[in-house]
Structure 1
Amino acid sequence: MDFAISERMQVILEMINEFVEKELIPLEPEFLNHEFVDLLPVLEEKRSMVRKMELWAPNHPKALGGMGLDLVEHGLVSEVLGRSPIGHYVFNCQAPDAGNIEILHKYAAEEQKAKWLQPLVNGRIRSCFSMTEVDMPGSNPVMMETTAEKDGEDYVINGQKWYTTSADGAAFAIVMAVTNPEAPPYLQASMIIVPTDTPGFNLVRNIPVMGHRGTDYASHGEILYQNCRVPQSNLLGPEGHGFVIAQERLGPGRIHHCMRWLGIAQRSFDLMCRRANTRKISPDGRTLGSKQIIQAWIAECAAEIQAARLMTLHAAWKIEKEGAKAARHEISFIKFVVANTMQRVVDRALQVHGGLGMTDDTVLAYFFRHERAARIYDGADEVHKMSVARHILRSHAEGGIKAALNLPG
């Protein structure tokens, strides 16, 4: 793997980093202390600036108006944008829109692309992804109670979903529901486009998470589908291929998440170092940074961030070269390694800030409460660990550790 960054990519990263520092980080106090909707006018101004800089939608195809960056390149961009909670939104590569755009680009019919994909890339509408269910294990997407039954030329959808991110304010949902209950488990569910103004699509609430309900951009909706009727032409891809499409979506999506988490970790690390250098703890002017335990935390955090970063870039590189299926274990590795690295760094940074860290006067408390879910969504840590452990043990028994870890020689 070549770790060199092209001159073009270096310029892009420098431009984005400068924009985040000068235009977005100063907006964070308002973001943390006001409703997101109150910030929309100023955020639209920032989005207009991004378009003029030709940095809009970095991971989406050029033909649709994006930058067309590959997965490794976008991973580097995602790390920079992750330094601010509003970075991805302003550049139009936020979840769940980014993953939905990938699905629509690959599986949508031309009419669906014109109606939903292009406006989504242009930033004129938002979308949500409706898969996780209240009473079913989110780490096992073949277990699903929501159904979509055929009635004439329509699907009639019934079921209950939650953690439908950004449902509040979305124009449409991509819903995963059982269409073929008699088929093998991995071929039972399909993905269907459901406009959110369809009768029977009921946004019950924005789920309070760590004391914050969230609106629009940062919400997690609970949705009740009650005889929600949509045309069968709203099907995405072949019927029964919902699980396959979901897996294709989740592989690259985990790269986006992990690099964003690394941006969060790096921002928290920078704040921790600044605090350690400036917070006086004695009359003679000594600072927190003079304490060995703080120095140890800083050294450990720096090493852990770098290790997690290299793991993630390698996983992105392998997906680009060999596909998500070949990189499935690398994807599992980074999912739990990076999530835990981020959490340790944020926790230590908050600890170094003391009482200040508990307030919303810095971004650390937001990171602490908002990103704890990283160890749960897209498959809980424990699920990924069990999966790769079973593979390693099986491969080790059959061919030794080189075969287990795909080592050369």
Structure 2
Amino acid sequence: MRRNLSIMGYDHAPEGHGEYLYENVRVPVSNIILGEGRAFEIAQGRLGPGRIHHCMRLIGQTERAYELALIRCVNPKKKPRGKLIGEFDSNIERIASMRLELDSMRLVVLNAADVMDTLGNKAGRYAIAQSKILVPIQAAKIIDECMQLYGGQGLTQHTPLPEMWTYARFVRVADGPDAAHRHQVGRDQLKGAKEFVERHEEYRRRNKELIQQWGVEDTHIDGDMI
């Protein structure tokens, strides 16, 4: 082990992250799990559940951050300009937006979990990738808003908010960066584009039938799918 590594200033004790150097490493045959040359297959099998676990943890900690924001909003000791922080219109709207975003995150992850349970991890790769893209970004945004409600104190160790935000940002790289998951989601969506072409051709065919049936003017531009 060369050294311990911190992640954005946090050492993640007691497990942490380290920099290791492997030289002349040999694995006994009895220690091989699935088969020679199949390590990547094992890793991929674990990554789907691992990614959704990150999202589940993020929702939990974002809920906690949201609770801290609500506590701040009704704290009678904090009355700028004689009003509770939660009595300002901008903060009322901020609280509402955070609740809506949190609930939408939860639904996306629940959908991914359901697909994995019913169809398996491979079939759920799109829903898993969707969760892994959306949840860390949204969690960091919500936690950032909670930090705003705490002002300068929200940036210090007086609250867990900075470490929460750091974890959310870290997860955008852990178990695969955003770009890799976006590529998968976009690629999967484009695979279904031909089906939509055929569907819209059928819409157009039916549209022509109705135009002839009812004797109305066809305003459709030739060659235009829409």
TM-score with structure 1 setting the length: 0.46
Aligned equivalent of 1:157 = none
How many angstroms does 1:342 deviate by? 0.8
Q: Which runs of 5+ in 2 are unaligned?
A: 200-226
How many angstroms does 1:214 deviate by? 4.2
Is residue 258 from structure 1 mapped to residue 55 from structure 2 by the alignment? yes
User: Which range is displaced more, 208-217 or 357-366?
Assistant: 208-217
Aligned equivalent of 1:294 = 91
Aligned equivalent of 2:13 = 215
| 1:251–1:331 CA contact under 8 A, matched in 2 | yes
Measured in 2, the distance between the counterparts of 1:280 and 1:354 equals: 13
Aligned equivalent of 1:277 = 74
Choose the corresponding residue for 1:309, options 83, 90, 106: 106
Name the structure where strand makes up a greater proportion of residues.
Answer: 1
Aligned equivalent of 1:400 = 196
Aligned equivalent of 2:25 = 228
Measured in 2, the distance between the counterparts of 1:386 and 1:287 equals: 45
| 2:66–2:98 CA contact under 8 A, matched in 1 | yes
Measured in 2, the distance between the counterparts of 1:262 and 1:213 equals: 22
Cα deviation digits, residues 61-97 of structure 1 (max 9, x gap): xxxxxxxxxxxxxxxxxxxxxxxxxxxxxxxxxxxxx
| 1:250–1:378 CA contact under 8 A, matched in 2 | yes
TM-score with structure 2 setting the length: 0.81
Cα deviation digits, residues 333-371 of structure 1 (max 9, x gap): 000111111111111111111111111111111112233
Name the structure where helix makes up a greater proportion of residues.
Answer: 2
Aligned equivalent of 2:170 = 373
How many angstroms does 1:216 deviate by? 2.2
CA RMSD for the aligned pairs?
1.7
| 1:269–1:346 CA contact under 8 A, matched in 2 | yes
| 1:347–1:368 CA contact under 8 A, matched in 2 | yes
SS at match of 2:19: strand
Higher Cα radius of gyration: 2
Do the aligned partners of residues 370 and 391 (structure 1) sit closer, same or farther apart at CA in structure 2, a change above 3 Å counting?
A: closer
How many angstroms does 1:393 deviate by? 2.0
Alignment of 1:350-361 (within 5 A): 350-361=147-158
Cα deviation digits, residues 230-257 of structure 1 (max 9, x gap): 4221111121222221121011112211
Measured in 1, the distance between the counterparts of 2:118 and 2:23 equals: 43
Alignment of 1:230-249 (within 5 A): 230-249=27-46
| 2:7–2:170 CA contact under 8 A, matched in 1 | no
| 2:66–2:146 CA contact under 8 A, matched in 1 | yes
Cα deviation digits, residues 275-311 of structure 1 (max 9, x gap): 11213112x3x11112222122211111111111011
Is residue 336 from structure 1 mapped to residue 133 from structure 2 by the alignment? yes
Cα deviation digits, residues 128-174 of structure 1 (max 9, x gap): xxxxxxxxxxxxxxxxxxxxxxxxxxxxxxxxxxxxxxxxxxxxxxx
| 1:281–1:288 CA contact under 8 A, matched in 2 | yes
Measured in 2, the distance between the counterparts of 1:355 and 1:313 equals: 35
| 2:136–2:172 CA contact under 8 A, matched in 1 | yes
Measured in 2, the distance between the counterparts of 1:244 and 1:339 equals: 25
User: Which range is displaced more, 286-295 or 341-350?
Assistant: 286-295
**Aligned residue identity for 2:112:** A
| 1:329–1:388 CA contact under 8 A, matched in 2 | yes
Aligned equivalent of 1:319 = 116
Do the aligned partners of residues 260 and 212 (structure 1) sit closer, same or farther apart at CA in structure 2, a change above 3 Å counting?
A: closer
Aligned equivalent of 2:211 = none
Alignment of 1:4-403 (within 5 A): 203-217=1-15, 219-278=16-75, 279-282=78-81, 284=82, 286-396=83-193, 398-400=194-196
Q: Which runs of 5+ in 1 are unaligned?
A: 1-202, 404-409
Dislocated runs of 4+, deviation >4 Å: none
| 2:137–2:168 CA contact under 8 A, matched in 1 | no
| 1:206–1:215 CA contact under 8 A, matched in 2 | no
| 1:206–1:214 CA contact under 8 A, matched in 2 | no
